[in-house]
Structure 1
Amino acid sequence: MSNPPLTAIHLGGPDDGPLLLLGPSLGTTTATLWTGVAQRLVDHVRVVGWDLPGHGRGRRAHPFTIADLAAAVLVIADDLNVETFHYAGDSVGGCVGLQLLLDAPQRVSSATLLCTGAAIGTPDGWLARAATVRAGGVDTMLAGAAERWFAPGFVDREPGTASALLDALSHTDAESYAQVCEALAVFDVTNQLSEIVTPVLAVAGSVDVPTPPESLRRIASDVKDGDLVVLEGVGHLAPAEAPQRVAGLIAEIVGVPQPPSKTLEDVHRAGMAVRREVLGEAHVDRAVAGTTDLTADFQHMITQYAWGTIWTRPGLDLRSRSMITLTALVARGHHEELAMHLRAARRNGLSNDEIKELLMQTAIYCGVPDANSAFRIAAEVLPEFDEHPGAPS
C-alpha cells in the first residue's frame, strides 16, 4: 500500500495564522461537513480540509489504511510549508487524527476528535458494508444515512444542510467508499491510546449511534492529556449539526478568540474564500487587480452577495451549484461567464461527460441554438482545462 494523494481544500484564513487541518467522515466532503465551522474560524485560523479518496474532490486511490491517510495528511502540511498544525476530524477523520498523534506527535499541536473511536464498529460489519456497496453502489447506504448521521428532528430543522450531505454521499465513488470501510475494519488503536501525549479534545454527540459518547470518553480518559465534551441533541456529524459550538471548542483548544456572530465583513471574507476556491486564485487576483473606482462597489457586492451569501449556503454543494449556474448561463446566453464557469465546474468535480449531459439537457429546455453555442464554447474551454488539470482560470 502507498500513501493515497489527498486534495487540499482551502477554506480561508490568514496565511500567517495557525494551521487547522480538517478530516471528513465517511461519505461526506469537507465542503458539506466543515464549511459552517470554518467560516467561524477564518478570522484567526488558516483552515484547510481534505477529502477522502473518491469523495468530493478526492481522487480515487489503490487500497489504503488509516495510517496511509495520516501520512498523506502530513504531505499536505509539508506542501503548505508548515511544520506543526492543529487537527480536527469527524468519524474516520478522527481515526486519522489518532493515527497522526501516534505516528507524528511532534507535528500535531492539538487534536479535536469528534464522533469517532479508537476502533469503530466491528471488522465483520465493515467488511459486510464494503461488500454491499460494491454489489449495489452507494445508493444502498442512502436509505438509512439520515438515521445514522443526524439527531432526531435535524432534517426538519435544517433540510438544506441535510440534503447537501446526503447528496455528497450519493456522488461518492462506490469502490472508494468500500476501501474506506476496509481500512476501518482493521483500524484499532485502543491499546495505544496511553502513548498519546498531545492535548486531545474528544467531542461526542449525545445521540450519536455509530460512535456513542462512551467511545469518546474512552479516548479522553486513556490519552495522557484528554478532555471530553458531550454536545446535547447532536448526532454523528457534529460539525454540520452544531457548527457554532464546534467552532467555539476548536477556537479554545487552538488558542484563538472565540468566534463572534457573523458580520457583513465575515460574509464578504467567506465569499472571497469560496470565490477563489471555485474560480481559481489567478482569475480572482486578476479581477481584484483590475478593480477601479467605477467597479469597486460592484466587485464588493458580487463577492458579498453572490459568493458570500449564496455560494456558501450549506443547502447545496459546490458541484450542484455549478450545474445550476451552467444551465442558467446557457439559457441567458452569457457566453463569457459560461466559459469561466465551465472551468469552475471542472474545479468543482464535474466531469466532461457530466457537462456534456448537462448541455444536452439544455438543448431541450433552453433551445438548440443556445446549446449549440454552449457546446462550441465547451469544446474550446474543456481541452484547455484538461491540459492543465486544476490550473487556475
Structure 2
Amino acid sequence: MELTASVLAAPTTPADEARVLVVLPSLGTSVAALWQQAASAFAAVSPETTVIGIDLPGHGRSTPITVPPETSVAPRITMSDLAEAVLSTLDRVLPDVVAPGTPVDLAGDSIGGATAMQLALDHADRFGRIAVFCTGAKIGEATAWEERAQTVATSGTPTQIIGSAQRWFGEGFMDREPEASAALLHSLQDADRFSYASLCYALADFDVRERLPEITRPVLAVAGSEDQPTPATKLAEIANAVPGALLEVIEGAAHLVPAEAPAVTAGLLHDFFGGKGLGAGAGGTAAAGGSAGADGAAGAAALPTASGPREASRDEVREAGMTVRREVLSDAHVDRANAKVDDFTSDFQDLITRYAWGEIWTRPGLDRRMRSAITLTAMIAGGHEAELAMHVKAALRNGLTRDEIKEVLLQSAIYCSVPSANTAFSVASQALAEVDAEANADDPSES
C-alpha cells in the first residue's frame, strides 16, 4: 500500500522552531479537498510550519490498492496497516522537506482521526501533539461497514454520493460553499472502489476504546455539533479516556469540520500545537461561521461528556436533550409535540427532554443504533403501541435497517411473548408504510 504526500502549506518565514503538521483525510475525500483551506489558514498564523497532507489509498493522488484482475472482492486491511503506510510515507518524504529531528504533529478527520489514534498507540515516539476530528475509538457497526464495502466493490463509489452529501455537511453548507462541497463529492466519485471498500473493512474491525488510556501524547478531540456518523459524544469518549485530552465542539458543522470551518480549525490547531488551553479547557464550543484566534477558541461552554452532561446547568442539559430529541424523532414530530404543550403538560415535557434525551440519549456508552434497538424492545414489552410506531421511524433515522428492525421484533416474540410481537409487527408495518408514503410525497419521481 503506497500513499502519496503533498505539501499543502510551506513555511513563509525562517524559524528556529520549525515544525511539521501532517493531516489525514476522511473516507471518500482527497486530502486537498478536505484540508487545503484549513492548511492555508493555519499557515497564516503559523508561518514556521510545513503542512503535509497524505491521501488515502485510491483517493486523491494515492495509487489504488492492488487487486487481482477481474475480481469483485476488495482485500481486507486493518487500521494498523493504514497507520504503517502513513508512517512509511513520512519516512520517505520528510527528509526532502525538513531537517532531521523536526517535531511532527498530526491531525486527521474521521478515518484519518482513527489512523492518528492508531499511530499514537503504536508509534507515540514519532509524534508530538495529535488532533482528531469527527471520529471515534469505534465508528459505526461492523455489519454496516461490511455491507457498504460489498456495495462499493460491486457498484462503485457513486452509490455513496447521496448518503455522503447528507452526512458530511451541516445545514446550509452546500448552498454557502458550492465549490468546496462539489470538490469533496467529486473526490468521492473519483475514489477507487476497491480501495474504498478495503477502508470500510478497516473501519469494521477498528475498536480501540479499551486502549484509549494508553495514549500518552497530548490529544485534542474536535466534533461537529451536527455530525451524525460521529456525534460529539464519540469525541467526548476520547477526551474523557485519554489523559489530559481536550474537547471542542464546532457549532453548525457536521462530519467534515476542516472543510466546513477552516478558520476555526486553523485557530484551534494553532492554539493546541502551541501548547495553549482551548476554550473552557476540557469542553468548549466554537461556531462554524466564526473564528478562533491565538488567544483561544470562541464561545466556550460546557458540553456532554462520557457520563452525560452532569456538570452542565439545567438549561444546558435541556438544550442538549432537545438537540438529540430532534435528531432522533425529527423536527416535525417535536414541533407537533411542543405545539400541544400547555400549563398542565409543560413540566412533563421538560422532564422528558432533560432526563430521557439530555441525560440518557447523550451518553456515549451505546450508539444510537443500539439505543433504538433497546427502546423498541422496551416499547414491545410494555405494550406501548403509539410510542413503538414513533420509535420504529426513529430507528430508521438512527441507522437500523428494516431487516434489523424485523430481527428485533422476532426476538421479542421469544422474550416478550408472541402476542406482543404480533401487535408489534402490525404497528411497525404501518409505521414503515407511512415512512414510504412520506418519501414518495417528497419525491415526485416516485409518484
Give the TM-score range, shorter chain.
0.5 to 0.7
Offset at residue 256 of structure 1 (A): 8.5
TM-score by length of 1: 0.63
Offset at residue 259 of structure 1 (A): 6.6
TM-score by length of 2: 0.56
Distance in 1 between residues matched to 2:241 and 2:143, nearest whole Å: 26
Taking the TM superposition and a 5 Å limit, the aligned residue runs for 1:1-393 are 4-14=1-11, 17-42=18-43, 43-62=47-66, 63=75, 64-79=77-92, 80-81=94-95, 82-83=100-101, 84-255=103-274
Q: Which residue of 1 aligns with 2:374?
A: none
8 Å Cα contact 2:26-2:112 kept in structure 1: yes
4+ runs deviating over 4 angstroms: 256-260
Distance in 2 between residues matched to 1:193 and 1:160, nearest whole Å: 37
What amino acid maps onto 2:49 in structure 1?
A: V
Q: Secondary structure at the match of 1:61?
A: coil
Distance in 2 between residues matched to 1:132 and 1:146, nearest whole Å: 17
Q: Secondary structure at the match of 2:129?
A: strand
Q: Which residue of 2 aligns with 1:278?
A: none
Q: Secondary structure at the match of 1:144?
A: helix
Consecutive unaligned residues in structure 1, runs of 5 or more: 261-393
Distance in 2 between residues matched to 1:251 and 1:44, nearest whole Å: 11
What amino acid maps onto 2:229 in structure 1?
A: P
Q: Secondary structure at the match of 2:42?
A: coil
What amino acid maps onto 1:92 in structure 2?
A: I
Offset at residue 54 of structure 1 (A): 0.4
Distance in 2 between residues matched to 1:165 and 1:89, nearest whole Å: 16
Q: Which residue of 1 aligns with 2:413?
A: none
Rg larger in 1 or in 2?
2
Offset at residue 11 of structure 1 (A): 1.1
Distance in 2 between residues matched to 1:151 and 1:241, nearest whole Å: 8
Q: Which residue of 1 aligns with 2:327?
A: none
Aligned residues between the structures: 257
RCO higher in 1 or 2 (8 Å CA, sep ≥ 6)?
Answer: 1
Distance in 2 between residues matched to 1:47 and 1:126, nearest whole Å: 31
What is the alpha-carbon root mean square deviation over aligned residues? 1.7
Distance in 2 between residues matched to 1:178 and 1:76, nearest whole Å: 21
Offset at residue 236 of structure 1 (A): 0.1
Distance in 1 between residues matched to 2:202 and 2:151, nearest whole Å: 16
Offset at residue 29 of structure 1 (A): 0.5
Q: Which residue of 2 aligns with 1:343?
A: none
Distance in 2 between residues matched to 1:73 and 1:85, nearest whole Å: 13
What amino acid maps onto 1:219 in structure 2?
A: I
Distance in 2 between residues matched to 1:181 and 1:21, nearest whole Å: 22
Distance in 1 between residues matched to 2:168 and 2:201, nearest whole Å: 20
